[in-house]
């Protein structure tokens, strides 16, 4: 590509947030009970990165978006049936477990290998997008490690907005402590952007975009190579779901002020 950006978005899939997740010990290590039976969605953090990438590509002529995902291809196919209708992209898939009990370095290595194998990869105009955090692999380090593996030292984490200036520079709105934002300016690609929530809503379904995407999504899933995420170097002393406590008392004659006071006293206690 001589013009525009090549935006590569790294995104995994996670169980639907409404599901009850129970960690269990399996022959392959720690995992989730009935994980393959749980409905899956694209990682929420990575979703923002994808929508921002599509918006940037739309406004930067000559740009393209490639979605790279490390996930079980059977579950990824189910997610793609919905996601493909949102925004245009090309899919590169690696077949691997989707659970959260994996090492960020191992995941980054698989992603790096998949990205480097992309045909006509334009490193000079590469924008590497991903989630600042993750709903499953929430180490907060995967994108940083991946950038280092690819030799990209310009990195920004907690990004909410990116603007291309008239000079072609990248102006980046990045979250910092205290609920504030830091405005940074980067000369241009290559750069790593770990996205927070961004500013864009979820795009509406577009069947035409879905049909266009599925022409390349299905062949990509069929060619997905198995990737090893053994986690052999990880050891967990114990894993459990946080316990929920419910205390209920029925009162018929308390005023709103009395209820509020009691709640405040309970919180302070």
pLDDT at 54: 92
pLDDT at 1: 38
Note whether residue 122 is domain-resident: yes
Note whether residue 232 is domain-resident: no
DSSP letters, 224-263, are PEE-----TT---S---PPPP-------SS--HHHHHHHH
Burial class (CB in 10 A: 0-12, 13-18, 19+), 16: exposed
Note whether residue 250 is domain-resident: no
Q: How far is CA 12 from the centre of its chain?
A: 6
pLDDT at 2: 45
Note whether residue 188 is domain-resident: yes
Note whether residue 124 is domain-resident: yes
Domain range spanning residue 171?
6-226
The CATH number for 176's domain is 3.40.50.620
Q: What domain count does the chain have?
A: 1
Note whether residue 269 is domain-resident: no
Distance separating alpha carbons of residues 141 and 163, to the nearest angstrom: 24
3-state helix, strand, coil in the chain (%, to 5): 30, 25, 40
pLDDT beneath 70: ranges in the chain? 1-3, 18, 22, 28-31, 99-100, 135-139, 230-242
pLDDT at 41: 83
Model pTM score: 0.80
Distance separating alpha carbons of residues 221 and 95, to the nearest angstrom: 9
pLDDT at 65: 93
Note whether residue 144 is domain-resident: yes
């Amino acid at each position: 590509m001589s013009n525009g950006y090549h935006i590569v978005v790294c995104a995994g899939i996670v169980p639907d947030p409404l599901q009850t997740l129970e960690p269990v010990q399996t022959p392959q290590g720690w995992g989730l009970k009935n994980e393959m039976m749980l409905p899956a969605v694209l990682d929420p953090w990575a979703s923002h990165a994808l929508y921002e990438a599509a918006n940037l590509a739309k406004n930067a002529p000559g740009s393209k978006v490639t979605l790279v995902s490390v996930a079980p291809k059977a579950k990824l196919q189910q997610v793609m049936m919905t996601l493909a209708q949102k925004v245009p992209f090309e899919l590169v898939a690696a077949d691997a477990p989707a659970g959260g009990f994996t090492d960020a370095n191992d995941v980054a290595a698989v992603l790096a290998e998949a990205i480097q194998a992309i045909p006509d990869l334009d490193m000079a105009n590469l924008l590497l997008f991903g989630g600042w955090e993750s709903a499953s692999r929430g180490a907060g380090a995967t994108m940083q490690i991946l950038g280092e593996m690819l030799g990209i030292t310009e990195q920004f984490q907690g990004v909410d907005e990116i603007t291309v200036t008239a000079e072609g520079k990248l102006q980046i709105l990045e979250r910092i402590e205290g609920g504030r934002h830091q405005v940074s300016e980067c000369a241009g690609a290559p750069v790593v952007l770990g996205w927070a929530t961004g500013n864009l809503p979820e795009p509406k379904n577009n069947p035409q975009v879905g049909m266009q995407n599925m022409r390349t999504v299905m062949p990509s899933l069929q060619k997905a190579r198995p990737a090893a995420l053994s986690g052999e170097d990880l050891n967990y002393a114990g894993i459990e779901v946080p316990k929920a406590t419910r205390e209920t008392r029925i009162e018929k004659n308390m005023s709103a002020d009395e209820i509020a006071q009691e709640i405040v006293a309970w919180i302070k206690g």
